[in-house]
Structure 1
């Protein structure tokens, strides 16, 4: 990323610029709108250095109308004005924003940052020559919604002048997109961060061994079926279904934290294997690669000699080979007379079969 060299001088500012660089190709409108905030933040930082106090509600346009604006070179002033106008237009008009527009604004940002870096941030810091951002296939794996969310979070922290950041560092975000915190739930003053990629995740009751009946009861009330249906405060969740206590929620919260950790692990596994096109089955913290050879294995009494009932259930539902099994292997336990031990035994059999 172009502005990575600024991290030692101003980490938050560098992170914000790095996120803007992602937006150049992914979301030109976001680049234009959030670039205005970048200029506002730069002016606020300069005011602090110069000891200038501004009245409440002093905006970017007010800065630019100040004729004695920090003895700013005309070219830098014009770059700021073009960034402001482009951002206003992108915010208020619905016309399509084209890539060329974001590239032009990105070039104006360089002019402003070059002046600010040398004049105020660090005179000894050597600003590298301008170059257009490069489209990176890995960077494009970030969804536009998450990219915008990350920009908004960093923007808020920059405006508040905080010295820390809760936004996932850019390097981690690029390697494993979807990790930006989109919601934070609370239970008994404990916080549970929900990453972006799990914002609407299905809370499959079978994934919560100790809370399965609790979740089923909530589901019957159209509650807690998806992550997005969980209230911000879980303290009173038990009141939404009969005959439950807060201790039931306490158990669920512990399993929810484990669920999130496991989903992050699975996401990393998928990312590490990206491009191989193979099916993965997941069960109790493990994964199994379903190769072509393993997928062709027939599910019959020969494969499961001690589980004729399970074979009957699966074949009835058209699951006649290993390649047709559900990715969420725990679902095998939904059938009558198929307990957790039967599911574990089947998993162990699969691990031993189909090996080259």
Structure 2
């Protein structure tokens, strides 16, 4: 990636080749094993494109080695390109099977060999007027990077699109958000954690689940209309975390008694709100690192030192009742800074409902505003 956030192979006319190459570039330093393993898919795709250009039937070629051998028999490869393809294939095989640690020097070597292959492909089969740029090492990542499972998910998704394109199947379109963040020129705009890793559906509606919520705990109090439903499901060891949810929520109510399809639908609607709220909260945390927040539904406030020190009394926070204050004190919570970040957790206390918590949140915001004017 250069200083403008553009990946090296952004110039490739084949969009999906460019996307996969961009992911490989990102993984050179962060996960050499991933880069080496998935580089094989890129060169295999290049060889398939070459065979299409040359009119060579590809039906009998089942593997990368088969295609490499066939391209050699047809005299399509220079010695340098053949050696580069072979080295990438062998390095990828080692990375796929050996448990040893793989070094950045190995992924950088594969990156150089990819350059040899891609330069050859573009110069032989691309626009004859195009001048292939000089080799460039990937820049070491300066910001937070993608965790390995998310990176693998991104590569797998892009590789599947690439395979479908090469198979002349109907080309799929990435979701609008993914297009905006996955193309090489705008990839940097996507923060790690936002890659869609699964989808949950109900009826004809589908909900994308980002990587950072893959194993999120589904606190029942976050789902105001489905609290009892979720508590019951948790008791049956169901729907405790996001990854426990089925791909289709239709019929989820059958895991417990006395609930209906209406509860499935209601939970799906609240789950969509939950995902939107969590996306917003993550953005705030990224934009304001080092800050302490209090959250209530889709809203939040920053806990300043003044607010943190404010005692939880009726005088400071009119919404607090004597019983609420007593229960907070029994839990060791005497100041605003000791409140849980997720305020809906306070609903666990006796006679404390959603309305009380909402009023407390408003009191907290008012206290914050008053402190700003001092």
| TM-score bracket relative to the smaller structure | over 0.9
1:305 Cα deviation (Å)?
A: 4.2
Q: Report the equivalent of 2:208.
A: 193
What is the TM-score when the length of structure 2 is the normalising length?
0.89
Q: CA 1:270–1:112 in 2, change beyond 3 Å: closer, same or farther?
A: same
Match of 1:148 among 152, 168, 186: 152
Match of 1:178 among 184, 190, 193: 193
1:11 Cα deviation (Å)?
A: 1.6
**Could you tell me how far apart the structure 1 residues matched to 2:346 and 2:158 are?**
43
1:63 Cα deviation (Å)?
A: 2.1
1:261-282 alpha-carbon deviations (Å, 9 max, x no partner): 11111111111113xx110111
**Which segment is superposed worse, 183-192 or 149-158?**
183-192
**Could you tell me how far apart the structure 2 residues matched to 1:150 and 1:69 are?**
34
Q: Report the equivalent of 2:217.
A: 202
Q: Report the equivalent of 1:34.
A: 38
What is the TM-score when the length of structure 1 is the normalising length?
0.94
**Could you tell me how far apart the structure 1 residues matched to 2:244 and 2:44 are?**
37
**Could you tell me how far apart the structure 1 residues matched to 2:187 and 2:364 are?**
33
**Could you tell me how far apart the structure 2 residues matched to 1:91 and 1:65 are?**
21
Match of 1:71 among 51, 67, 76: 76
Alignment of 1:28-107 (within 5 A): 28-66=32-70, 67-69=72-74, 71-107=76-112
Query: Retained in 2: the 8 A contact 1:142–1:174?
Result: no
**Could you tell me how far apart the structure 1 residues matched to 2:339 and 2:60 are?**
62
Alignment of 1:118-129 (within 5 A): 118-129=123-134
Q: Report the equivalent of 2:4.
A: none
Aligned to 1:94, what secondary structure does the other structure show?
A: coil
1:165 Cα deviation (Å)?
A: 4.7
Alignment of 1:105-144 (within 5 A): 105-138=110-143, 140-144=144-148
1:5 Cα deviation (Å)?
A: 3.0
1:22-49 alpha-carbon deviations (Å, 9 max, x no partner): 1101110010010011110001111122
**Could you tell me how far apart the structure 2 residues matched to 1:230 and 1:13 are?**
34
1:238 Cα deviation (Å)?
A: 0.9
1:91 Cα deviation (Å)?
A: 1.0
**Which segment is superposed worse, 207-216 or 173-182?**
173-182
**Could you tell me how far apart the structure 2 residues matched to 1:11 and 1:319 are?**
55
1:163 equivalent in alignment to 2:171? yes
| Structure 2 stretches lacking a partner, 5+ long | 2-6
1:220 Cα deviation (Å)?
A: 1.2
Aligned to 2:300, what secondary structure does the other structure show?
A: strand
1:25 equivalent in alignment to 2:39? no
1:289 Cα deviation (Å)?
A: 0.4
Query: Retained in 1: the 8 A contact 2:88–2:113?
Result: yes
1:4-31 alpha-carbon deviations (Å, 9 max, x no partner): 5325x12211111110011101110010
Query: Retained in 1: the 8 A contact 2:8–2:136?
Result: no
Q: CA 1:4–1:88 in 2, change beyond 3 Å: closer, same or farther?
A: closer
1:332 Cα deviation (Å)?
A: 1.7
1:16 equivalent in alignment to 2:20? yes
Q: CA 1:331–1:26 in 2, change beyond 3 Å: closer, same or farther?
A: same
Alignment of 1:311-350 (within 5 A): 311-350=325-364
1:116 Cα deviation (Å)?
A: 1.0
**Could you tell me how far apart the structure 1 residues matched to 2:213 and 2:355 are?**
29
**Could you tell me how far apart the structure 2 residues matched to 1:305 and 1:59 are?**
71
Match of 2:299 among 269, 283, 286: 286
Query: Retained in 2: the 8 A contact 1:304–1:311?
Result: no
RMSD of aligned Cα (Å): 1.8
Aligned to 2:62, what secondary structure does the other structure show?
A: coil
| Structure 1 stretches lacking a partner, 5+ long | none
1:239 Cα deviation (Å)?
A: 0.5
